[in-house]
Amino acid sequence: MTLRLPPRVMIPALVFGFLFLAALGVWQLGRHDFKQDLEDRRDAAIAAAPLDAATAVALPPEELDYRRVRLDGRWDFEHTFTLGNRFRFSILGEELVVPLLLDGRAAVLVNRGWYPTSERDRVVALLSAEAAGSIEGLARDLSPVTATLTAAGTWTRFHPPSMAAGLSYPVQPWGVIEGRLIERALLAPPAALPVQGYLAFDDDVAHLEYAVTWFGLAITLVVTAYLRLWRIRGDAGDTPPSS
């Protein structure tokens, strides 16, 4: 037996379904426009001239995000942080974060790059030989995320406020990824370690494809509903009158 809803119930339900699906499509278009604008603004920020320490620390973290900076200071290798479970090139690795002590200003946590876990001792020894540093990198406002210290002694994310909680000196709420812009993702690890640098912001969520899908479902619903109602009317017209 086929369940047939009366038109006074079916039509409002179909209208609601169409509007709901269409609204999801419009929302995905809005997300696409937002992400495109965000990508353009972050590309422009990376392309701008690097900021010195005095200018960088004077800006709010949200305005400093995705700006290049040039910093000078002394490395504090007695208080390093390790980001664990960092896979690159299909290799399990880590990233080392080291405080850079700025003259007369709060320190900055610097992500000094990635290395395979098997190369930890060599890379740490190489970097710890540097008493002072003059670096260029990408400033990031990482306040929206959180990080925790694992039982293995590694951190889950690069989050300066969480990592700096045990330090005896003040630390900037933003962090720096050391290195320069990488035009395209490397397919294999370079000979020199650690691997430093950053990629430009790229939203890989297919918002346009999602929008087309939702709009397609809305149209399919309308066509299916029309054919269904037309069939119901046709069946009703074919019913012979009772004698």
Q: What is the pLDDT of residue 111?
A: 98
Q: What is the pLDDT of residue 1?
A: 46
Q: Which of 43, 44, 104, 68 is nearest to 176 (CA)?
A: 68
Q: Which of 37, 64, 171, 193 is nearest to 110 (CA)?
A: 171
Q: What is the pLDDT of residue 242?
A: 53
Answer yes or no: are the C-beta atoms of 39 and 203 closer than 8 Å: yes
Residues 169 and 212 in one domain: no
Q: What residue ranges of the chain have pLDDT lower than 50?
A: 1
Q: What is the pLDDT of residue 30?
A: 94
Domain range for 99: 67-178
Specify if 154 maps to a domain: yes
Specify if 61 maps to a domain: no
Domain-terminating residue out of 135, 160, 178:
178
For 36-89, write each residue's pLDDT tens digit: 898 999 999 999 999 999 999 999 999 999 999 999 999 999 999 999 999 999
Q: How many whole angstroms separate alpha carbon 98 and alpha carbon 75?
A: 7
* Domain count for the chain: 2
Burial class (CB in 10 A: 0-12, 13-18, 19+), 152: exposed
Specify if 191 maps to a domain: no
